Structure 1
């Protein structure tokens, strides 16, 4: 039985079926029948977050989230659900926020019923065993320690400490052993039970399931598995005090970061705006403030050398409050001009206040409708989380439509909100390495200071002086009212190579699957000069960044209108990828390519972009050890990938003359490969190809360049130390499979699928080595490999290495029990590698990857199915045995340990300490 049923508002092209209802026990459920779903995606949202934490046990809600995975009455084994999900081709995760917690997973349809049984018991019948509580407090403390040097968390804590101490937002939300061990474990268990009984009740939980099952069958499964939960009503929510006290507004906060960063963050304190979802006033305000054109705020600041980037609209949000941020990345000069920048900001806000807003509503409404009707599918679990959360926020009818609905445009609503955009209602954060501070935040020890903004500056900002260079954007020239589908051509092949020469290849495919007026166009340049070492690679990185800064100003409106571009560097050159609506896209791509060749006005952007790139490289050296080890692994394995350390000094000394020289060198000798896939007909792709071929005619051509990698197999174990100032020890052990063939790739993927939950449970739960632990499939240029990684605040790197090796040896001996899961594992890999493409973008990416790997038959799915059917469990056992014993497997150990040195002889390894020499002497494999 269900209570009530509502028709949900959707758009005319949505072929999915939605059904919302409330079960007799109060659980609200949305089921979505999606004929194109590759798997079932499930999300539950619980109206409980860290705002519910007792003041003497901060982090309790976070601990509760962890404890739900530590066994329940029906499935008492720790991580039983996570293991079940992994062995059946899915994944699972959870997150705790301020007022909501989210639990979500993906699973094959045939295992949906059993997974829902697991899920219902996980959410409602946890065991809360004392030893598990103790271990999870250690895990949460390890998570806290891992993030102790994370600048985002550090800034967030300063934000909390400068808010109303009576508001729960001000509390420490993550928790650590200090806060969670204030009470005995028995007391913590009692608090967990009380919080769970109070908040994890049916009327406080929403559920969304997206699957191929028809809605009634899916609802029946949900009832079967959730009906046993008794009706529960959450406590009446207490009203929250104001987020900020009067003395916490109209203030400036100076903050010193760990990484080199310069930011101006202006925060306006607003009430909740959820009720205005059909007007979307903040969307209008955000897009106007974020305009990156020449006459917008960012263009104004760039022209004066004050800022390099802007983001607008983000900020903390809750049921009664909303922060609205204007976040600017500053230059050194910008740090000295904060008051003038604030005056420009308030002048621009005045322009918005006094400008007729009808056109902006009209544009936004058209854009939202286009995005909704013609959206490429997003990740199904993300959508399930969004829909489960929306049940709490919007009327039933608008649960699906809320994000896109703009049917009540109203200037007065914008004007009402703009009253909050006042200097007396703002908080100004200035993040700077040399900030003057007089306080340290409690948990993360972030230096900061705050003071009231001077009355004369407040007065100036209330009546800002005009600046004629600041102008609201004109009508968007990239908007197109025509998004029709082209006529399907007879017998369209999946992909056709329409141009094939020594130095230029063009592939074309007309989408016949998704029926959307969208497409993707890739153009990749292989440049002979890109292979000439780290200096060329560094200057190429700078040139690409300058181009992106130039494009940012020219084509911001294109992105708003649904025409996206991504210009990026790769090891053999660079690539341009445009995506979005097909109308105008090929012309847009051609315009970008023309700019790549013709734009030489580097002076305008050079100093700002160079400083930005140097700062980024320098900040890489401050990343947590695991990230640095994986970056180093990439540099060791790929011939034309270089370490940030080798690039940072070159970037610092780079000149404009070098950029011109490297640009000329890169473009003078090249090979171009392109893919046009989507809502285009052959003559459009042919015209695009001829334009591109003509552009290529004046340059020296060559064949596609090799993406060779280091061949570790058949050689000694290699040990590479990486100096790092972080106190944690960290290890990455990379095992390279013997061959770059499909069989070894599948065996490596199968092994990772099997070992991932087992290793995680062992390292995190049993051995308690740290928070950052895991394994992953890590191929380099399609050569398969697997990596195991650990970062620990307690143990030495040598201990971690020994622990990983012992784990693998025991796994090789005790692999037989997993044989019963063999077919499920293979089905999981089929789903992962051979499933239907979830959206047009994914299909385009798959085809482009196949072209990059010279798989011109595009038979990867068929070949994978055939190879998988031939694999036996004994093949995996032999493969694992080879891994554990080092037979025909390449092994590279990377470690960072500030306190301990490892002698290579202790591991029967060879020291790898000179990267350049290693690359020169190590044989390569394609």
Structure 2
């Protein structure tokens, strides 16, 4: 199997006698074992009289099996042993995956094997899961992505299975009797969920021999059943569905031009990667690239390239532009510019781009920061269907057959007659309404005169392809490590300035992270300055986007973002050139003043984003509101709208000067750097900082609910679903309360999910979570329901909590396992360098300057008894020393606070003014 010379993991690919193909990876750096299975079955298999059947089948596999008949038994087991399970159904494949502490991998595989192969398909469970799928459908009925996707389906070849309604709902799944649906589920499962049609990937710290033995133990007994014959697919689009324009009216204030080129499958070219070459050229955000040209003329603000639906015989390639109001009126000229740029790519020699891409892919592969193990397992289980065993690991990175002729062949499909133009605009003139999501759209052939004009394109002297990338480093070496910097040390301190430096002694990669945070006294002066700060940061990001696009391509990433007390800059990726890159960005933050250039575009974009916030699904809006209520310097999107709409360039200049004038700077440099490099970086930062006034780190206190009565807050929302969030603030921000809250969430999460989704059938979007604000622990229970009122949801959630002590008593015997699972999550190995850097940066934010949090957690956790948790739960159920805040949205009902024994929280500013902060 092809790997690189720095990959010290062990791989073993094999095929069991029954036909199951398995990839096992031994990774000693893993903290848990991750397993994924891919089944070659998706919604393309759905019968026309039972659309959504494959999706229902996925749900049914979690409703008990012959060995483990209890609903969600697997999920409950995993939650107690440091893991979780999930699944997804696609067009041609379905994916199932779980993680678990490695000592329980055998039990996990036992559950997994029976889940996949021995489902019960009980009639009462079928009835419940059809309701769950219908609730899922209702939840997404206002999702613009789903709505656009359906229009795409309705305008494709009706004989192609892509055109089918894939999610399913009560209408499609109740067309037949439940007995007939049960029969169809059994048939589909017997045909598709067979060993020759399934793959498995296991990533574990266990040896390959041990993992292979476990796979044999739990999967070898399955009968050898051949995969069904693959169906012959018709063309995805008929001739009349190409060379067309589709106008779509969104719910949110979106303006987009999406140009789709219909391609055949390009899977066989994975060693040439022609679409990768084409994508990077079209997506170049430099001043003379496609986006730069449109930005200069005020037509577009963002571009994304290359996404699109993909299947075994087809591939869509999208050029997706976020438009301005001016751009909506100039679609034809923008199409002309697009084809001018495509023509430029066609005429240009391409080996330079192959050479650059090959070098970058090799660097990224050799020095990649590890990704989440479950995500990797899903990708590799799927890859078994696409690639030969020797290239399973290398498939995304190998470029050993550069061939400009293949790029030219793929570009031959990039012609006007082979495109579909989607224009998304609130003012779209429409003539049709989609069947399931009720999306208004129109469909018409592109004017022949325009097609002819686009076919005879003239060159555009302003456009040009990108130059050689100046951010690429030819070599990456590891610096000498010093024991003194195995944990970060403060290496520089001045008035209002601290810099910490640590070296990575764990991962051995030429990478690193550099954080620079600004606490600005002016940032806490109210909603208006917070709004203008948001606008300033957005203008800077727009500027960086154009100036430093090639840095991202070369593996240097940046993230400039607002926080409640100011803003932060985070750079990451290869360590070579990163500190100078970070310094260049900081210099631009201080010196860049040309705010008028793209001011109106960015301001409109930010206003649109704030307005669109008001159209998010109710649960999201409730959590956004909760964040604003709990934190002193966080503001609601609604309160920021008017300030954004009235913002001026002069205000941005004033705000920038106010923010930078008085500040506290803190920085962490962690990774592959030597002391001398960091000293120079620190000197540069201090010289810059010396021109401004320093102050101490600003407080991030939260409001104290524990001293308040039960609070009730109503959020107006036009969405038809009722939604509720009940938030419990733990008594203190001490480690003990934090651990008790986390332990409680770990235990109660699967219990509440099963109760709310399965037993009470409240809706699809239900759950609970650990929700801290500025390190003060808390926990939230949430439900969004298409059928029940908010008052009913509140009553049933609180009734559940009253019985929580009884529900949790059976877990007393498993208390040591539960504590071990939480300890592994909180104190286990960092999965990658990025996670370790983030953990250390969080420790600095929490003023854990000795970086002993992990050891302190272990000590505190080992002393906690089950009785401590029960006392904590009783306090929650009785409302003793616990803060409780209920937020709800219900278009059909207003709740009288006294009915709940609550006090109404109506005036947010008054609440923030009069409520004490946590000491």
Compute the TM-score of the two structures, normalised by the length of structure 2: 1.00
- 1:413 aligned onto 2:409: no
Q: How does 1:124-273 map to 2 (within 5 A)?
A: 124-273=117-266
Aligned residue in 2 for 1:814: 807
What secondary structure is seen at the aligned counterpart in 2 of 1:409? coil
From 879, 899, 913, give the equivalent of 1:886: 879
Q: Is the 8 A contact 2:18 2:195 kept in 1?
A: yes
Q: Is the 8 A contact 2:748 2:808 kept in 1?
A: no
Aligned residue in 2 for 1:533: 526
Per the TM alignment, residue 94 of structure 1 is displaced from its structure 2 partner at its CA by 0.3
From 756, 764, 779, give the equivalent of 1:786: 779
Aligned residue in 1 for 2:303: 310
- 1:589 aligned onto 2:590: no
Per the TM alignment, residue 465 of structure 1 is displaced from its structure 2 partner at its CA by 2.2
- 1:805 aligned onto 2:798: yes
From 717, 737, 741, give the equivalent of 1:724: 717
Aligned residue in 1 for 2:539: 546
Per the TM alignment, residue 501 of structure 1 is displaced from its structure 2 partner at its CA by 2.8
Per the TM alignment, residue 337 of structure 1 is displaced from its structure 2 partner at its CA by 0.5
Task: Give distance in 2, aligned partners of 1:399 and 1:548.
Answer: 37
Per the TM alignment, residue 489 of structure 1 is displaced from its structure 2 partner at its CA by 2.3
Structure 1 stretches (4+) deviating beyond 3 angstroms? 490-493
Task: Give distance in 1, aligned partners of 2:750 and 2:699.
Answer: 36
Aligned residue in 2 for 1:3: none
Q: How does 1:329-478 map to 2 (within 5 A)?
A: 329-478=322-471
Deviations 1:30-51 (A, max 9, x none): 0000010110000000000000
Task: Give distance in 2, aligned partners of 1:914 and 1:824.
Answer: 45
What secondary structure is seen at the aligned counterpart in 2 of 1:603? coil
Deviations 1:444-481 (A, max 9, x none): 00000011111111111112122211100000010111
Aligned residue in 2 for 1:760: 753
- 1:709 aligned onto 2:697: no
Task: Give distance in 2, aligned partners of 1:383 and 1:502.
Answer: 45
Task: Give distance in 1, aligned partners of 2:18 and 2:773.
Answer: 51
Task: Give distance in 2, aligned partners of 1:575 and 1:823.
Answer: 40
From 30, 34, 56, give the equivalent of 2:49: 56
Q: Is the 8 A contact 2:201 2:378 kept in 1?
A: yes
What secondary structure is seen at the aligned counterpart in 1 of 2:597? helix
Per the TM alignment, residue 490 of structure 1 is displaced from its structure 2 partner at its CA by 4.6
Aligned residue in 1 for 2:112: 119
From 668, 676, 683, give the equivalent of 1:683: 676
- Give me the CA root mean square deviation: 0.6
- 1:514 aligned onto 2:507: yes
Task: Give distance in 1, aligned partners of 2:753 and 2:804.
Answer: 13
- 1:577 aligned onto 2:570: yes
Q: How does 1:486-525 map to 2 (within 5 A)?
A: 486-525=479-518
Per the TM alignment, residue 201 of structure 1 is displaced from its structure 2 partner at its CA by 0.1
Aligned residue in 1 for 2:611: 618
Task: Give distance in 2, aligned partners of 1:238 and 1:893.
Answer: 52
Deviations 1:91-136 (A, max 9, x none): 1110000000000011000000001000000000000000000000
Deviations 1:485-531 (A, max 9, x none): 11122543311011123300000001111100000000000000001
Unaligned runs of 5+ in 2: none
Aligned residue in 2 for 1:4: none
- Return 345-354 or 455-464, whichever deviates more: 455-464
Aligned residue in 2 for 1:481: 474
Deviations 1:826-859 (A, max 9, x none): 1111111000111110000000000011111111
Q: Is the 8 A contact 1:89 1:824 kept in 2?
A: no
From 19, 31, 44, give the equivalent of 1:26: 19
Q: Is the 8 A contact 1:58 1:172 kept in 2?
A: yes
Q: Is the 8 A contact 2:731 2:883 kept in 1?
A: yes
Aligned residue in 2 for 1:908: 901
What secondary structure is seen at the aligned counterpart in 2 of 1:521? strand
From 705, 718, 740, give the equivalent of 1:747: 740
Task: Give distance in 1, aligned partners of 2:445 and 2:363.
Answer: 45
Task: Give distance in 2, aligned partners of 1:249 and 1:458.
Answer: 11
Task: Give distance in 1, aligned partners of 2:470 and 2:808.
Answer: 61
Task: Give distance in 2, aligned partners of 1:379 and 1:235.
Answer: 32
What secondary structure is seen at the aligned counterpart in 2 of 1:45? strand
Q: Is the 8 A contact 2:593 2:653 kept in 1?
A: yes
Paired residues in the alignment total 919
What secondary structure is seen at the aligned counterpart in 2 of 1:392? coil
What secondary structure is seen at the aligned counterpart in 2 of 1:549? helix
Q: Is the 8 A contact 2:752 2:768 kept in 1?
A: yes
What secondary structure is seen at the aligned counterpart in 2 of 1:822? helix
Deviations 1:659-706 (A, max 9, x none): 000001000000100000000011111111111011000111110100
What secondary structure is seen at the aligned counterpart in 1 of 2:570? strand
- 1:15 aligned onto 2:5: no
From 68, 76, 87, give the equivalent of 2:61: 68
- 1:852 aligned onto 2:852: no
Task: Give distance in 1, aligned partners of 2:484 and 2:523.
Answer: 40
Task: Give distance in 2, aligned partners of 1:292 and 1:473.
Answer: 9
What secondary structure is seen at the aligned counterpart in 1 of 2:699? coil
Per the TM alignment, residue 627 of structure 1 is displaced from its structure 2 partner at its CA by 0.3
Compute the TM-score of the two structures, normalised by the length of structure 1: 0.99
Task: Give distance in 1, aligned partners of 2:14 and 2:61.
Answer: 26
Task: Give distance in 1, aligned partners of 2:396 and 2:620.
Answer: 35
What secondary structure is seen at the aligned counterpart in 1 of 2:135? helix
Task: Give distance in 1, aligned partners of 2:644 and 2:809.
Answer: 53
Q: Is the 8 A contact 2:485 2:501 kept in 1?
A: no
